[in-house]
Chains A and B, each alone.
Chain A
Amino acid sequence: MLDVFIERIRAAHAESTPLILQGGGSKAFYGNTDEGEILSTRTLTGVVDYQPKELVLTARAGTPLTEIEALLAEQNQMLAFEPPHFGGAATLGGSIAAGLSGPRRPHAGAARDFVLGVRIIDGTGQPLRFGGQVIKNVAGYDVSRLMVGALGTLGLITEISLKVLPQPATETTLQFELDEAAAILRMNQWAGQPLPLSASSWHAGLLTVRLSGAASAVHAAQAKLGGDPLNDAAAFWQRLRDQATPFFDKRPLWRLAVKPTTPPLKLGDALWVEWGGAVRWLASERPAAALRAAAQTAGGHATLFRGDAPPDGVFTPLAPAMLTLHRALKQRFDPKGLFNRGRMHPDF
């Protein structure tokens, strides 16, 4: 099955043909515009191994997320980083290459935290295997995690091993009427206490938090926090995870990742706060430079998530020393710059 991909990449390497690596295409909007012939992983499907007692699942890159999540649900397990589907046919490979995580991220960890191993084909057509199927492994550089969020620019991911987790026995979602500043403060105060928090959101005067765990623990926390229980909470979090509410249709839509305690940035009212305050979604026509400066002052970075890219690209430009390293790494994994050219950075 892999031979087809190896052959195709070797041929592209010989002819210097750029390639666009694509899974389900659900995140085609994300990143800068790239160029080349499409190389789809949609035929590279199937769960290779799943051992619920080991908490490890291995699947080929083109396997739809829905298929993996259904299989895990049969064993009351889950992908704890809650990768977004964005309403499309998201694949595991695309989710790992994009490195995006959902509402549970601040509490359970990000996509990169769950990756145990990968198989890739590099830009010369060389298949490589890094990491493995065990939770503790410090042999060699952590190239597996380097692939997470690299947007395919360092190699075609063909197979991934992930740590999975049990689903919580119970979940309850509570809502509180609070202004932005009070909600951000509350999110951070609660995160510093032993509470079974698993997600948080603030939008339009409403703080929403999810509690997960044993029924007794969730009920005790609910009694402590107060608030109003939200009915149909699963749908609320699914919509937030997939950006399936009208708020996320606004353009340009910016993602400001900041230190979670950052007070309100006062950059506009079209705002959705997530991840305990660490992400501020903002629909704003303000200049990219102004938004980036605000995010950097707040210890983070700003990404034009959806909409037309500013001239210097959708991602916050890298410092010179970091850019040099990025170029050097790209050179080692994809010397001719064939994969997703320009997707992460205008130069590569």
Chain B
Amino acid sequence: MLSPAFLSKLRSVLPAHCVLNEREDLVPFESDGLAAYRNVPDVVALPENEAQVAAVLQLCHENRVAVVARGAGTGLAAGALPVDGAVLLVLAKLNRVKAIDPLARTAVVEPGVRNLAISEAVAPHGLYYAPDPSSQIACSIGGNVAENSGGVHCLKYGLTVHNIMKLRALTIAGDVLEIGSDALDAPGYDLLALLTGSEGMLAVITEVTVKLLPRPERAQVVLAAFDDVAKAGAAVGNIIAAGVIPAGLEMMDRLAIRAAEAFVHAGYPLDCEALLLCEVDGVNEEVSADIYTVRQVLEASGATEIRTADSEEQRLKFWAGRKAAFPAVGRLAPDYYCMDGTIPRAQLPHVLKRISEMSDEFGLRVANVFHAGDGNLHPLILFDANQAGELQKAEDFGGRILELCVEAGGTITGEHGVGLEKIRQMCAQFAPPELTRFHEVKAAFDPDTLLNPGKAVPELHRCAEWGAMHVHAGRLPHPELPRF
């Protein structure tokens, strides 16, 4: 618990309406997008500008009080879960688009600006911000930087780390860091990369300069059905081997296809084992050439049916099923648990076979949706939390899937982050010397371990204990929000 003396100091550095510590005001902040992890914060600070953020950090630093930074709270790994005795520092009020430079193709924004709001603000200039996490209507750019968020278009356009130029950030001591530059590089170590994806553990971001791209002239999508998941997986590799880098390349398995079709009637073929959606974008002629190549490759790869969307309306319809896959699967069972592993694409048939075997073993169904282009797998484990033991089984199954991803040469998280949710699997992915180095990197920024303590990197002794330890995990709140 925080002392009354500390709370009174906090009130002295922020306007009265920027400090919440009545229980009914605090409860909405008890979790992020992974609502099975809940912890009502002791106090919420809602600063309105960088100077106030600095004042809160300095105060916390002086008093050795921990700080958990939070953006829009849409994260899926409990990275913004409140910590006992800490200040929850909510950056949502820093939400101004400070500058747009259409000629230089950059925008300077505060961390609380929503991802989609950036693209909306720069749309009149024919520009957009490329990373598009599925929560983009709600998630904030500061949170995107903290998680190195991805989206459907990563293979071609990269993650957050590839699309930002410069950060202003504050250390726990309240010192301003200017990282990156308005040029394409900066002297010294690449701290821009180090901070991106650091899950609020190294510094608090107060300003982001993002890179903008010209809107593609045209986007077109091809749908292909396969009677075998392995053939669909091979087709993905064949498209890439033919020299095409699709803007989006998505796969769904039988259960996901059927659920999506029943939910949104996208017109998907139902007599197939796997469906691929391959979107290409760019200049008009490039798209025509790529569509031709993609169709040829799909045919040669044994697709049982190939359709090209020939209107924008049809393109959106093809995508509607994929984008509704999570809520659609959510109708099949009372609860589902979304995983986020990445594997080398060639391992897909093997990994899907193992998941299917484990599904029988655990007695829980799994629907697979897959950012096939970049190997990012989202198995959705179906369960019923009201049945005794099912949540536990779903968690254990999920953990096994992530470990399978590591065994297959991949990683436990492609785009959601580690947070608290996957901290146990970090022990499977990294050896003690690397985990130790992560702690040392943190110590270089935050020697007293005050920023988001206990997240993302496990203590070594916990790795040893966790063989038998139960980490509470769970389901997605707000199933109506698109998550894909």
Contacts and interface: CB of A to CB of B under 8 A. Distances in A.
Interface in A291-336: 295, 298-301, 303, 315-319, 321-322, 325-326, 328-329, 331-333
Interface residues of B, number: 95
A221 B418 contact: no
B283 to A, nearest CB: 5
B331 interface: no
A142 B155 contact: no
A138 B411 CA distance: 8
B177 A260 contact: no
Contact of B181 (A128, A301, A329, A333): A301
Contacts of B181: 257, 299-301
A105 interface: yes
Given A109-B162, A110-B184, A138 B147 contact: yes
Interface stretch (B13-21, B55-63, B316-324, B433-441): B433-441
B430 interface: yes
B105 A140 contact: no
Interface in B221-272: 237-238, 240-241, 243-245
B183 A154 contact: no
A136 B375 contact: yes
Interface in B145-183: 147-148, 150, 154-155, 158-159, 161-162, 171, 175-179, 181-183
Interface string A137-174: 11111110110111000100000000001110100000
Given A53-B237, A109-B162, A258-B182, A221 B346 contact: no
Contact of B441 (A141, A148, A192): A141
Given A216-B286, A319-B178, A139 B190 contact: no
B71 interface: no
A217 interface: yes
Contacts of B360: none
Given A143-B441, A192-B105, A259-B104, A344 B346 contact: no
Interface residues of A, number: 90
Contacts of A6: none
B206 interface: no
A214 B190 contact: no
Contacts of A195: 214, 283
Given A192-B127, A328-B444, A213 B105 contact: no
B241 A321 contact: no
B125 A192 contact: yes
A258 B183 contact: yes
B283 A145 contact: no
Nearest to A275: B184
B182 A54 contact: no
Contacts of A328: 443-445
A259 B183 contact: yes
Interface string A162-197: 000111010000000000000001001101111110
A193 B409 contact: no
Given A136-B375, A140-B426, A301-B183, A53 B416 contact: no
A128 B88 CA distance: 34
B414 A134 contact: yes
A101 B442 CA distance: 29
Nearest to B417: A138
A285 interface: no
Most chain A CB atoms below 10 A, which of B283, B374, B426: B283
B196 interface: yes
A33 interface: no
Given A55-B240, A298-B183, 6 more contacts: A54-B375, A134-B410, A137-B342, A142-B197, A167-B243, A318-B187
Question: Which 10 A-B residue pairs are closest in the complex by CB-CB distance?
Answer: A299-B182, A300-B183, A53-B237, A145-B193, A328-B444, A214-B289, A257-B183, A216-B285, A136-B414, A166-B243
Interface of B: 101-105, 125-127, 147-148, 150, 154-155, 158-159, 161-162, 171, 175-179, 181-191, 193-194, 196-198, 202, 214-217, 237-238, 240-241, 243-245, 282-286, 288-290, 342-346, 371, 374-376, 409-418, 422, 426, 429-431, 433-434, 437-438, 440-445, 456-457
6 contacts: A122-B437, A132-B411, A136-B342, A138-B148, A166-B243, A303-B187
